[in-house]
Amino acid sequence: MRWLRFTVDQTSSWGIVEDDRVIAVDGDPFGEWRRAARTHPLADVRIELPLVPRTFYCVGLNYLKHLKEAADKRGEVPNVPDRPEVGYRAQNALIAHDENVIIPATATEQIHYEGELVVVIGKKAKHLSERDAMDCVFGYTIGNDVSERSWQKADRGLWRSKNTDTFKPMGPWIETSVDLDKMETIVRLNGQESNRFHTNDMIFGIREFIVEMTKYFTLWPGDVIWMAQHQGGRRGRDRDHRHRHAAQQVRCREVA
């Protein structure tokens, strides 16, 4: 099932995407809901953020190829993590499908983009085991992790390199029926493929992260976990360009 947040005639609602139409829903997927009589062509609705997370979690270097690539650039031996490591991002950076990523005038040309699987939590969870960790997952969406690399090197934290307004496009919808082992993440810029990788080819999988996270804090419905990328994204060339590749060119798809 594909859950979509959308706006029609200045009214926002949840909906279910079926083929090229959106069926409006009364209620929301994290509680009680029912299909309404209202339907709309998908092309006629404004797609909103799938959700604004209560907590915006993220994963660092979680693909071996990406880790080796980063180490090679520094002339170092890869330091493969021995346990899941979790960070945070800011809600203000989130934008919806087909909205522009706006690069500040003070940024350099070192703008990178990375397509990432996003895990959406569906119910309250604490102290989960490997056996039941995936029970709290509602579904998945896609995110574009935009970074300004010179700021990332210069600053002690990631406060502006990762969290500048519009630096985290997410969506368009939440997919609940996913076979991760058959999924590929495909990154495109202006229609040209720049990266493709098996989405589930992670150092630590979703299950391991949820087990580790719920040892220490509670996950809540609507929390999201961005799961990192296989290798670094390409660099932007024009710092004043308003990049539209965020939602248009970065997407996940399942393959047989």
Q: What CA–CA distance (Å, rounded) separates 118 from 97?
A: 14
End-to-end CA distance of the chain: 18
Phi-psi region of 248 (alpha: psi -120 to 50; beta: other; left: phi over 0): alpha
Average pLDDT over all residues of the chain: 89
Show the CA angle centred on residue 225, arms to residues 223 and 231, nearest 5°. Answer: 160
Phi first, then psi: give them for residue 158, nearest 5 degrees: -105, 25
Q: Average pLDDT of 75-85?
A: 88
Question: Side chain identity at 85, as an amino acid letter?
Answer: E
pLDDT (tens digit per residue) in 199-247: 999 999 999 999 999 999 999 999 999 999 876 555 554 333 333 333 3
- Cα dihedral 159, 162, 164, 167, rounded to 10, equals -170
Strand bridging mode 224-226 / 56-59: parallel
pLDDT at 83 over 70: yes
Cα Rg for the chain, rounded, in angstroms?
18
What pTM was computed for the model?
A: 0.90
**Confidence bin at 84 (pLDDT 50/70/90):** very high
168 band by pLDDT with thresholds 50, 70 and 90: very high
One-letter amino acid at 120 equals: V
Q: How wide is the angle at C-alpha 185 spanned by C-alphas 184 and 189, nearest 5°?
A: 135
Instruction: Compute the average pLDDT of residues 35-63.
Output: 96
- Per residue in 3-26, pLDDT (tens digit) is 999 999 999 999 999 999 999 999
